[in-house]
Amino acid sequence: MTLLFLALHVLSATIWVGGMFFAHVALRPASLQLELEQRVDLWFATFSRFFPWVWAIVILLPVSGYGLLHSAFGNPHPMPTHIHIMQWLGWTMISLFVFLFATHFRKMTTMLKKRLIPEAALYLNRIRIIVSINLALGLLTILVASTGRYW
Ligand code: HEM
């Protein structure tokens, strides 16, 4: 089970953080060449394909993480510091994603259905800010996770 949990955990983290990195450093600057309406449509189509993966990941990451803690470490008390930090960074990232989906992405969807483009762009910008924060937290979490055993 340990290998399965570790594989699911590391692949989930890679897909989520890698996807945010690509969106932030490559797709966003490239999309600025488009007119506002095309840009908002492009981002809506992008999120509609990426967010179902993120929903699966926000379930898989904690399930595999606590599975690992149980199978590889035997639920230690106290928890190793790096796992403790990873856990709380992870729950912060998950909460931010659920928040952005339930508020800004839903509002962006509603505005786009009515073709209210500037309003939809406002929510797109809010999503961008939260994704930047989550990207920074995700990179930090990976550093903590992979260097923690050497502290
Ligand atoms: C949500 C709660 C989480 C729990 C309970 C958890 C738990 C764990 C545990 C027990 C390990 C094994 C640690 C070791 O072998 O020293 C691990 C490894 C790892 N975790 Fe997490 N984790 C969580 C969230 C996250 C998040 C959000 C990320 C990244 C976005 C992440 C990235 C990693 C990585 C990359 C490893 C592999 C480290 C390595 O073997 O070098 N984890 N996690």
Per-position pLDDT tens, the chain of length 151: 999 999 999 999 999 999 999 999 999 999 999 999 999 999 999 999 999 999 999 999 999 999 999 999 999 999 999 999 999 999 999 999 999 999 999 999 999 999 999 999 999 999 999 999 999 999 999 999 999 999 8
Q: Identify the domain containing residue 110 by its residue range.
A: 2-150
Domain count within the chain: 1
Query: Which ligand 1 atom is the nearest neighbour of the CA of 93?
Result: 27
Report d(CA 63, CA 86) in Å as an integer: 14
CA-CA distances (angstroms) from residue 88 to 20, 81, 105, 117? 19, 11, 24, 36
Report d(CA 58, CA 121) in Å as an integer: 26
pTM: 0.95
Cβ of 145 closer than 6 Å to ligand 1, yes or no, is yes
- Which residues, at least 6 apart from 26, have a Cβ–Cβ distance to it below 8 Å? none
